[in-house]
Structure 1
Amino acid sequence: MEQLNLRHLYYFWVISREGSIARASELLDLAPQTLSGQLATFESAVGGRLFLRERRKLALTDLGRMILGYADDIFALTGELTDTLQLAPADRPLTLAAGISASIHKLIAYYLLQPAMVLKRPVQLECRTGRTEDLVLSLKRKELDVVLADRMPGLDEHGPFTVHPVAGSSISLFAAPALAANLKEGFPDSLNGQPLLANATDAPYFERLMNWLSLQGVRMRLMARVDDSALIKVFGRQGYGVFAAPTVIRREVCRQYEVEHIARIDEVQDELFAITRGRKLAHEGVRAICMDPVNFNALSTDLDR
């Protein structure tokens, strides 16, 4: 079957719901003979009987039950679409498909997306996490409306994109309580020889952190590279090493992962970007994200009050 005839599928769906051709023909305003002929054509197309007659009633065959499951999903969605199209354009939900680099902490991602979620128009948000390079390819294929990233991919090879700086935060260091207790005093010299957990060694902030440590005459031992913002904190909680995270979320990091804040390093900043297709921001949700950037350092001060 090269192409499914949706009208025939709809007739089959109504017959299944009504339980008889007679009742379905009344609902569809078709003659019973016409509807029977349409059903026969559909059965020929799908390669099997869809109904059996049992005691003057129609009973679905195994093939009929399988197709009915798909038809239920299809016509439930078309019903939702019909309801949505009946709304005034300004009242229709706005779909926003956002890609988020896996190394971005989920609370940070929430702050970045929040401007789009408070629009007067309702927003249906779809989020996808992954490697920045893969997300940018999805953006090029128009599967995503925006990509939130903490590093700059090679954009030239993918197509015309625009990069919007949306946030920045100083970096703080964290560790399990037993390890942190020995590192707070005498910081940063106390870090010498201590184990370090890295989000990703190609992340710009990591290079800045290593440069800052080098300037302080500190040399740490790289224990692991974990390109997932949540998993690295789990390793840190278990005492495997010191890890870095944006200062703005330090209270949440300490609470959720049962670690302690060692120190804030204002000289090391984590910069975040929104990547979009082209220069014009036609999408209302994307425009809110890019044009209303979050001041994370100010937010961090507010959270400490």
Structure 2
Amino acid sequence: MSTLNYKHLHYFWVVAQEGSITRAAERLGVAVQTISGQLSLLERQLGKALFNSQGRGLVLSDAGRLALGYADQIFQLGEALVDAIQSGDSESTLRLRAGISDGIPKLLAYRLLSSVTAMPNDVRLICDEDEFEDLLADLALHKLDVVLTDRPAPVGGNLKVFNTRLGDFATGLFGTTELVERYTEGFPHSLNGAPLLLPSRHHALRGRIDRWLEKHHLRPKLTGEFEDNALLNTFGRGGLGLFPAPLALAGQIAVQLDARPLGPMDGVSEQIYAISNERRIRHPAIEVLCAASAQAAATPGV
């Protein structure tokens, strides 16, 4: 089989991003005929059509979508190479690109990832926050090395990943001093009518909290539901309601959110998973992250 021409592949990559040969030609500063001809050569070499016509534009074929996944990896690695050299990273620098699901506590993500920054290597940590599905897509394209989230990736299909359960972090309710003093007596039954801030029903923790409330026949006043945990904490810090958080982070929550624990929710825990690409040799920073997680779950916050 002949060697792949990366100029042809780059033209294909830009056309896929622009959705039009004309726009791709304008972006690259070359003639439309040049791109069209080189796309034809690439399709002939691969033996598959990469685009289908749709109106005045182009859409990827099944083969095109597969090729785009590989092209993304190739050219993003090229960009990373340039960035690494221009930024002065030495050969000993270890880079970890971590995706953080918007539903997990950011203080908890920090506590887990701090084990990576404490490694003896020169570590460069690159973090991105997004929704679960988008992070898995970036992981599949090798834009990320690991995803921290509250649920495992679905099994089966074309996505080959490792699900590593980092631990169960016992969860309690927190609030401002005023709210904690108001609802301490008789907890948890004091929660009837109490203002409560919860993650949305898209998050795994929400189902566990709902079951705990039902078990104790509690009817709090649901003041707000949030997709983003950081926004939930901001409202909690403002005193608009009690909010759930890992008890192991009580110290950090007191300092950063000016909030105190009201009481535990027995049987409710924040489950954190590390999802990584399936590789024969795993990223050394991911191994450190997984090894440190058990201690983080067991050790109280300071």
Distance 1:141 1:209 in 2: 34
Which residue of the partner structure matches residue 100 of structure 2?
Answer: 100
**Residue 188 of structure 1: CA displacement?**
0.6
Letter in structure 1 aligned against 2:144: L
Q: Choose 204-213 or 133-142, whichever is displaced more.
A: 204-213
Which residue of the partner structure matches residue 14 of structure 2?
Answer: none
How do residues 29-68 of structure 1 correspond to structure 2 at under 5 angstroms?
none
Which residue of the partner structure matches residue 136 of structure 1?
Answer: 136
**Residue 82 of structure 1: CA displacement?**
10
Give 5+ residue unaligned stretches, structure 1. 4-44, 47-73
Distance 2:250 2:84 in 1: 46
**Residue 141 of structure 1: CA displacement?**
0.5
**Residue 248 of structure 1: CA displacement?**
1.0
Distance 2:229 2:83 in 1: 39
* Cα 1:217–1:192 shift into 2, 3 Å: same
**Residue 168 of structure 1: CA displacement?**
2.0
Give 5+ residue unaligned stretches, structure 2. 1-6, 8-28, 31-78
Letter in structure 2 aligned against 1:113: L
Whether 1:263 aligns to 2:242 is: no
Find the residue that maps to 2:152 and give its secondary structure.
coil
Contact residue 168 and residue 295 of structure 1 kept, 8 A? no
1:260-294 CA-to-partner distances (Å, cap 9, x unmatched) read 32112242111111001115442111222124423
1:129-182 CA-to-partner distances (Å, cap 9, x unmatched) read 111111111000000000011123445456111100112211010123222211
Which residue of the partner structure matches residue 192 of structure 1?
Answer: 192
Which residue of the partner structure matches residue 120 of structure 1?
Answer: 120
Give the superposed CA RMSD.
Answer: 2.8
1:36-60 CA-to-partner distances (Å, cap 9, x unmatched) read xxxxxxxxx99xxxxxxxxxxxxxx
How many residue pairs match? The answer is 227
Distance 1:247 1:79 in 2: 39
Q: Choose 214-223 or 181-190, whichever is displaced more.
A: 214-223
* Cα 1:218–1:131 shift into 2, 3 Å: same
Distance 2:298 2:83 in 1: 46
How do residues 1-305 of structure 1 correspond to structure 2 at under 5 angstroms?
80=85, 89=91, 92-154=92-154, 156-157=156-157, 159-278=159-278, 280-300=280-300, 303=302
* Cα 1:262–1:281 shift into 2, 3 Å: farther
**Residue 242 of structure 1: CA displacement?**
1.4
Letter in structure 1 aligned against 2:277: R
Find the residue that maps to 2:299 and give its secondary structure.
helix
Contact residue 172 and residue 263 of structure 1 kept, 8 A? yes
* Cα 1:131–1:158 shift into 2, 3 Å: farther
Letter in structure 1 aligned against 2:254: C
Contact residue 173 and residue 244 of structure 1 kept, 8 A? yes
Distance 2:85 2:123 in 1: 15
Q: Choose 151-160 or 170-179, whichever is displaced more.
A: 151-160
Q: Which has the larger radius of gyration?
A: 1
**Residue 244 of structure 1: CA displacement?**
0.3
**Residue 230 of structure 1: CA displacement?**
2.0
Contact residue 112 and residue 289 of structure 1 kept, 8 A? yes
Sequence identity, in percent?
30
Find the residue that maps to 1:99 and give its secondary structure.
strand
* Cα 1:129–1:79 shift into 2, 3 Å: closer
Distance 1:147 1:290 in 2: 12
Runs of 4+ in structure 1 over 6 Å off: none
Find the residue that maps to 1:174 and give its secondary structure.
strand
Contact residue 194 and residue 221 of structure 1 kept, 8 A? yes
Contact residue 196 and residue 223 of structure 2 kept, 8 A? yes
Letter in structure 2 aligned against 1:294: A
* Cα 1:95–1:279 shift into 2, 3 Å: closer
Contact residue 153 and residue 275 of structure 2 kept, 8 A? no
Find the residue that maps to 1:270 and give its secondary structure.
strand
Contact residue 195 and residue 222 of structure 2 kept, 8 A? yes
Find the residue that maps to 2:201 and give its secondary structure.
coil
Distance 2:96 2:263 in 1: 37
